[in-house]
Amino acid sequence: MIWHVQTLNVGAILILPEGFELASPDCISPEMKEKIGNLPFQNYRPTKKNILVIGSVPGGNRGRGQIYPDGNKSNNTVYNATATGPELLVSKGESIKLDQPLTINPNVGAFGQGNAEIVL
């Protein structure tokens, strides 16, 4: 059997401060339109004009993460660089504590997953 790896469409949800909203197409300069290209933007809901859905864009799954306006990352408390593979922080027979990271990358990725889930 031959397996073919396919790309995964990715996107983003952008939450702006209250009062901000997506500009109408006629308000966007030609230079900005050139930078944006064919990237689709839309309101998340008609009642939430400050929340935008961006994408989807052909890409790959690299886990999830949020970056706050001050530059802090929401899910990188233990792991802060792209690793070539999981590296265990514990050894066979070692006692561990509740919520202790087992690898250098505890992020399991994808929206809605809890820390109790393991992706293999």
pLDDT in tens, 24-56: 888 889 998 888 888 888 888 889 888 888 877
Which of 7, 12, 120, 119 has its CA nearest to residue 61? 7
- Would you say the C-alpha torsion 60, 66, 71, 73 has a positive or negative sign? negative
pTM over the 0.75 mark: no
Tell me the chain's radius of gyration from C-alpha atoms: 19
Secondary structure of residue 95 in the 3-state scheme: coil
